[in-house]
Amino acid sequence: MSLRIVVCVKYVPDATGDRKFADDLTVDRDDVDGLLSELDEYAVEQALQIAEEADDAEVTVLTVGPEDAKDALRKALSMGADKAVHVEDDDLHGTDVMGTSLVLAKAIEKTGYDVVIAGMASTDGTMGVLPAILAERLGVPQVTLLSEVSIEDGVVKGRRDGDSASEQLEASLPAVVSVTDQSGEARYPSFKGIMAAKKKPVESLELDDLDIDADEVGLAGAWTAVDSAAERPARTAGTIVKDEGEGGKQLAEFLAGQKFI
Ligand SMILES: Cc1cc2nc3c(=O)[nH]c(=O)nc-3n(C[C@H](O)[C@H](O)[C@H](O)COP(=O)(O)OP(=O)(O)OC[C@H]3O[C@@H](n4cnc5c(N)ncnc54)[C@H](O)[C@@H]3O)c2cc1C
């Protein structure tokens, strides 16, 4: 039977662009360019490698996000994933990690899975907790933060590198896995892959399709609330020291004045 791999990929605001909060203190996702979270490219890469090793496997990429999040799915499809699922619904606006994990869990159950692979953290929220919450919701083992991962005979095995030790972990499938940025460079989509991705299926789901009520997600259903947010003050021009023989002394005085030395 085919090994069903679901990869969770997030569409995030481009960190090199200007990012701001909307009036309701949610992240403004409308006026900024976005992209597939770079850390999720590692998850796609590991899924593709596992699929290549297996006799028969299917890789589905899944995102919860706005209309533009399809760009993240297309990128993953052009890397080599087989199909995509996009959960999009106006009522998702303001959903926190508890709501996001609920939506992902229901979509994964509907899609069918043997293993779920996620990134170590998104590059915007960076909580790094979603895979663990997801495993809890699905009621399956979690093997997180792996820098090496393989699947054989219904068992997922991997290595988690800590500061003082490396752990060898394993769990029977179905399971949730997350992989780090040390798991291996993600491949670039080839021209052939980009063209093929245009024809791969992208299934669109709304909350109704997943039997989720609007009040379980969104700002109303969030377990967390942002009370206030302020823009970081613009950077000042700084102090320019013109070296006319006294540059070193002036530099030392500046650092001492700031209590750096
Ligand atoms: C349209 C939209 C509006 C949102 N509004 C808010 C808000 O107002 N307040 C708020 O607190 N949160 C909001 N969220 C949720 C938030 O952006 C995160 O998705 C969620 O809180 C998970 O936190 P994280 O990104 O830090 O996850 P992490 O735990 O850092 O992510 C780990 C991994 O989980 C997977 N993952 C995470 N998010 C998604 C996703 N959306 N789709 C697929 N895979 C995913 C990825 O594989 C990622 O590498 C919103 C999300 C969306 C899509």
- Give the integer Cα–Cα distance in Å for 59 and 83: 7
- Structure token pair of residue 257: 């004045």
The residue type found at 243 is D
Q: How many CB atoms lie within 10 A of CB 38?
A: 14
Ligand 1 atom at shortest distance from the alpha carbon of 37: 49
- Give the integer Cα–Cα distance in Å for 104 and 217: 12
pTM to 2 decimal places = 0.89
Q: What is the pLDDT of residues 27-63, one digit of tens each?
A: 877 777 899 999 999 999 999 999 999 989 999 999 9
CA–centroid distance, 129 to ligand 1, in Å, is 10
With 0-12 / 13-18 / 19 or more C-beta atoms within 10 angstroms meaning exposed / middle / buried, residue 18 is exposed
The pLDDT score that the predictor gives to residue 73 is 98
Q: Considering Cα of 21, then 27, then 28, then 34, what sign does the dihedral take?
A: positive
What's 179's DSSP letter? E
CA–centroid distance, 208 to ligand 1, in Å, is 20
In terms of Cα–Cα distance, which of 48, 64, 62 is closest to 3?
48
Ligand 1 atom at shortest distance from the alpha carbon of 129: 29
- Please report which residue ranges of the chain form alpha helices under DSSP H: 38-53, 70-79, 97-111, 130-138, 191-197, 218-221, 247-257
CA contacts within 13 A on the Cβ side of 32 = 18
Q: Are 107 and 210 in contact (CB under 8 A)?
A: yes
Question: Under 8 Å CB-to-CB from 160, ≥6 apart: which residues?
Answer: 143, 144, 145, 146, 147, 166, 167, 169
Q: Which residues line ligand 1 (CB under 6 A)?
A: 8-10, 26, 29, 37, 39-40, 43, 62-66, 92-97, 100, 104, 118-119, 121-122, 125-131, 224
The residue type found at 228 is S
Question: Under 8 Å CB-to-CB from 179, ≥6 apart: which residues?
Answer: 42, 43, 46, 117, 118, 119, 120, 145, 146, 147, 149
Q: Where are the domains of the chain?
A: 3-221
Q: What is the pLDDT of residues 127-160, one digit of tens each?
A: 999 999 999 999 999 999 999 999 999 999 999 9
Residue minimizing CA distance to atom 53 of ligand 1: 65
- Residue 87 Cα distances to 61, 78, 193, 206, angstroms: 11, 19, 23, 6
CA–centroid distance, 125 to ligand 1, in Å, is 6
Q: What share of the chain is helix, strand, coil (3-state, %, to 5)?
A: 35, 25, 45
Residue minimizing CA distance to atom 15 of ligand 1: 96
Residue minimizing CA distance to atom 49 of ligand 1: 119
Q: What is the pLDDT of residues 233-243, one digit of tens each?
A: 888 888 788 88
State what percent of residues in the chain have pLDDT above 90. Answer: 78
Pocket test for ligand 1, best of 130, 133, 177 (most atoms within 8 A of CB): 130
Length of the chain: 261
Strand partners for 116: 6, 176
CA–centroid distance, 189 to ligand 1, in Å, is 24
Q: What is the pLDDT of residues 79-114, one digit of tens each?
A: 999 999 999 999 999 999 999 999 999 999 999 999
The CATH T-level fold of domain 3-221 is Rossmann fold (3.40.50)
CA–centroid distance, 119 to ligand 1, in Å, is 11
Ligand 1 atom at shortest distance from the alpha carbon of 25: 8
